[in-house]
Chains A and B, each alone.
Chain A
């Protein structure tokens, strides 16, 4: 197991190098002079020269790449062109809301989707099952921003139950304000993942319910509730956990939109702002950062399989 973890961590190095190379080339291969692209339409010649200097674009490409990789190895993701702050500092400043939104979304999604899917599988063909499936299709179809604005209009503006937008840190403002501000973004972001995971749970549990050991459990005189919980669900867990893992990765895209809709100062907003400002070092740093997180989540998901299925050993 430990050997496997070490091997997996070592295997992330080549992956990260490839991502780094891609990110590096992204700027250099874009048409025209990257410095003038970054500087924008109204830049003076000095501006462009300054940016070129700052990005090291005057040096041979291999030297640039070596420096870039050497910097990365020391945890230096570069410096923002417009704020002159290190990208790592910017990420550190913005990371809390994003982590919190991601966590609440995952927790809410799992709490809703897994029971929904399990009940749908258990009562396959019934009205509950059909309702879950209809919700699931609808959930896939509604864009995050549409749902976000509908919620804002109904709950915040018409009913005035919750604040329209913004973010309050749990650590500075306490749990109450934090929850009041995070509920709507969480629900908005969760719907699509609830749809996805409920569907997957249903399929997985339905398959397991056909298994012989479920019949054995019933032959023992076990109650339906226990059959579902202690026999079916645990056996259905591996595919469900896999989809939750994929869901977390997909969440990154949803976070950008949700944070914009609710004006949450997180990484999603940072991405959006950086893209609009063509602040390439930030974009590059964030791509690298998200790739790393993605690889990390995959590793955690793979390791979690051993908790659910004793047949999986690394």
Chain B
């Protein structure tokens, strides 16, 4: 079977043969990757898929020779680039190959580019290292590759710095840099994960287009099956450092044979909202009227620039209901959430909670209302104090509102059970939990305040897809159990489709569309909503479902 697919595949650029890399002593397992084998052919896109800790990035970095060898040591196997084993090359030989024969692009183009160097020079550096071109030849070639990745007005962009460009433009610069010497192998490590969905679609198109035109072999690392469905020719699935399954994309996505692959694929939320019974209109939990937030960076003797982060936002959430807010970065969705919780002060409008407008309340008067609205943030690693036990984090809020330590602890125990964790884990510190468990703890902490409204601000975005499904289920459970009104903020249209009764689409601080989820997805009335839905990766693929 493997033999057969091998025969149909093009000439090999990269061959990984029985590669094993050890983790430093004291890690939770011996091998970062163990006995993995796969090939990348000329003009082929091979997607390595897996959740965090699967070893997919270690694989990519080992090929590039960018792993710290004293921590991660290749102990067996080969990584053959056009037949030459990269693992036996000296550091100097590897430097020669990097950029020239194999190049890499990274997840976060903002941090992957040097912030104090002009982007044209950063691309030119590649030529400076590997060729004997003169400065003017280099500049000409840089403009050529910049045009090749469809950057508008390369001459003008040549002299800009990364922070002056958009996320998509930065990633195009990275791609231009990687392609400057036309390497045979391009390694892309989650290159679209940090990008907005419409930008992601453009970058995926670009990578596909370049690979077709130049015949580049692409090793594409991702955790997103939507992306896999868009671009992969061949898929390699990894778990805990092992390759559990590989094969042509259609086969893996349509008929996965390994249980882990099946689980991963069936965890991908569908873009089609499920049938939801019409809810009776219940009591209003939160009402926002004409909310404005304007940032003004003016100051002493200085006229400021105004940024309208949110403008005229209207929303209502009833008890027991989930309202989704979707939009790309900078759309104002988090601004709205922060104004409602009063982490930032709105510049205008009303936020009605329990019959009180809290938009302009002074801190003292606001305090009793604080407990009514709680928020769960995106990154559970950073939203828990690392020096406090999770128990201390959970009881702090209720104790501020008059509960005794004993009562608060009792409630914390109860909530740990609710979120599916052992109550005796309260004495442990956040680093002793996994990402999904930490997010459960954050939810428990929010619930400890007995809120009426729970805001989930990208609460599942940082989680692996299988964990994401569990946390979404938990959020839905607690919503029912405590009759909560939930404001669910996300950039992920798949997730929104599954959990939201109604949905609100934001762009540039303005709500452009609002309605029942099923109606908005089936018949978007605003062109921006249409564009968002049209850019969702894998929208034309039916993912296999577990029987």
Contact = CB atoms under 8 A, between A and B. Distances in A.
Given A219-B103, A221-B100, A222-B125, A211 B301 contact: no
A218 B112 CA distance: 11
A221 B66 contact: no
A310 B161 contact: yes
B214 interface: no
B116 A309 contact: yes
Given A216-B112, A219-B66, A7 B300 contact: yes
A220 B161 contact: no
Contacts, number: 76
A9 to B, nearest CB: 12
Contacts of A3: 302
B84 interface: no
B105 to A, nearest CB: 9
Contacts of B114: 213, 216-217, 231, 235
A11 B300 CA distance: 10
A67 interface: no
B60 to A, nearest CB: 10
Contact of A311 (B66, B95, B163, B177): B163
A108 interface: no
Interface in B82-109: 94-100, 103-104, 106, 108
A212 interface: yes
Contact of A309 (B96, B100, B108, B115): B115
Q: Most B CB atoms within 10 A — which of A215, A220, A231?
A: A220
B138 to A, nearest CB: 14
Contacts of A11: 300
A227 to B, nearest CB: 10
A230 B129 CA distance: 13
A220 B125 CA distance: 8
A101 to B, nearest CB: 33
B130 interface: yes
Contact of B106 (A215, A235, A308): A215
Contact of A220 (B108, B115, B117, B129): B129
B161 A221 contact: no
A58 interface: no
B454 interface: no
A222 B128 CA distance: 9
A223 B115 contact: no
B113 interface: yes
A207 B117 CA distance: 18
Given A212-B106, A215-B66, A220 B111 contact: no
B99 A212 contact: no
A211 B115 CA distance: 11
B126 A220 contact: yes
Contacts of A223: 95, 129
B64 interface: yes
Contact of B111 (A213, A217, A231, A310): A213
A211 B527 CA distance: 39
Nearest to B111: A212
Contact of A218 (B98, B163, B177, B302): B98
Interface string B159-179: 001010000000000100100
A234 interface: yes
A72 to B, nearest CB: 24
A221 B129 contact: yes
A221 B106 contact: no
Contacts of B104: 219
B547 to A, nearest CB: 42
A212 B108 contact: yes
Nearest to A213: B114
Contact of B97 (A211, A217, A221): A221
Given A221-B100, A234-B116, A216 B106 contact: yes
Contacts of B111: 211-213
Contact of B99 (A7, A219, A234): A219
Contacts of B116: 234-235, 308-311
Q: Most A CB atoms within 10 A — which of B103, B113, B163, B301?
A: B301
A150 to B, nearest CB: 41
Contacts of A212: 106, 108, 111-112
Nearest to A235: B116
A247 to B, nearest CB: 23
Contacts of A217: 114, 125
Contacts of B94: 221
A230 B103 CA distance: 20
Contacts of A10: 301
Given A212-B108, A235-B116, A219 B98 contact: yes
Contacts of B106: 212, 215-216
Contacts of B99: 219-221
Interface in B129-149: 129-130
B112 A220 contact: no
B267 to A, nearest CB: 29
Interface string A230-261: 11001100000000000000000000000000
A220 B177 contact: yes
Given A7-B300, A311-B161, A221 B115 contact: no
A212 B96 CA distance: 20
Contacts of A213: 111-115
A4 to B, nearest CB: 9
A44 to B, nearest CB: 53
A218 B126 contact: no
A313 to B, nearest CB: 10
A306 to B, nearest CB: 11
Contacts of A308: 116
A277 B95 CA distance: 68
Q: Most A CB atoms within 10 A — which of B116, B125, B129, B130?
A: B116
Given A219-B98, A220-B99, A309-B116, 11 more contacts: A212-B106, A213-B111, A215-B66, A215-B112, A216-B106, A220-B125, A220-B126, A222-B129, A234-B116, A235-B115, A311-B116
Question: Lowest 8 CB-CB distances: which A-B pairs, in order?
Answer: A221-B98, A212-B111, A221-B99, A213-B114, A221-B95, A212-B112, A220-B99, A219-B104
24 contacts: A3-B302, A7-B302, A10-B301, A11-B300, A212-B106, A212-B108, A212-B112, A217-B125, A219-B99, A219-B104, A220-B98, A221-B96, A221-B98, A221-B100, A222-B95, A222-B125, A223-B95, A223-B129, A230-B117, A235-B114, A308-B116, A311-B115, A311-B116, A311-B163
Interface of A: 3, 7, 10-11, 211-213, 215-223, 230-231, 234-235, 308-311
Interface of B: 64, 66, 94-100, 103-104, 106, 108, 111-117, 125-126, 129-130, 161, 163, 174, 177, 300-302
